[in-house]
Amino acid sequence: MQDYLEFLKEKGYKLTKQRCKILECLEKHPSLSAEEILSLVNQEIEVNLSTIYRNLNLLLQMGLIRKSNQLSQSDYFELVRQNCSHDLLCLACGDKVSFSTCNFNQLAKEIESETKYQVKHHNFEIYGLCPKCVPKKTEM
């Protein structure tokens, strides 16, 4: 947590209480929508939805969080962590399980030397049918 704050401060961004609370929420939960962050933060301090969005956009640009819109209408935001975790989502019912396997560090190096980009993070989602939904879908 402290790392994120110092990182932002170094870049010249202020550590407002709203911003800190937003990061705190993201740290406590694996994945949150803007609305969810709003109500979590509002339990402790007052904050406006536009502030949530402005901060999320800043954090996205900084590469501190990533966004994914799984199977729902709105976006979900998650902190970029060391031990990256990914989701496997069921196309039929939306159920999900997490998996961690993903030898990304190696791939990142290859890609960096190939493209000259400085790789920050990634987003990896797998879609399929969960054990419950497989039968329904194949007999259709």
Partner DNA sequence: ATACTAATTGCAAAACTTTCGCGATTAATA
Partner DNA sequence: TATTAATCGCGAAAGTTTTGCAATTAGTAT
> Which residues of the chain form contacts with a copy of itself (CB under 8 A)?
11-12, 60-63, 66-69, 71, 75, 88, 90-92, 97, 99, 101-102, 107-108, 110-112, 114-131, 134, 140
Q: Among residues 18, 31, 68, 70, which is the contact residue for DNA, using CB under 7 A?
A: 18
Q: Check residue 32 and report its DSSP letter.
A: B
- Residue 23 burial by Cβ neighbours in a 10 Å radius (0-12, 13-18, 19+): buried
Per the CB < 8 A criterion, the answer to whether 65 and 24 are in contact is no
Q: Among residues 29, 54, 96, 122, which is the contact residue for DNA, using CB under 7 A?
A: 54
Q: Among residues 1, 28, 63, 74, which is the contact residue for DNA, using CB under 7 A?
A: 74
The binder of 13, among DNA, a copy of itself, none, by C-beta within 5 to 8 A per type, is: DNA
Per the CB < 8 A criterion, the answer to whether 78 and 66 are in contact is yes
Pick from 105, 101, 97, 100: nearest CA to 121: 105
| Nearer CB in complex with DNA: 48/123 | 48
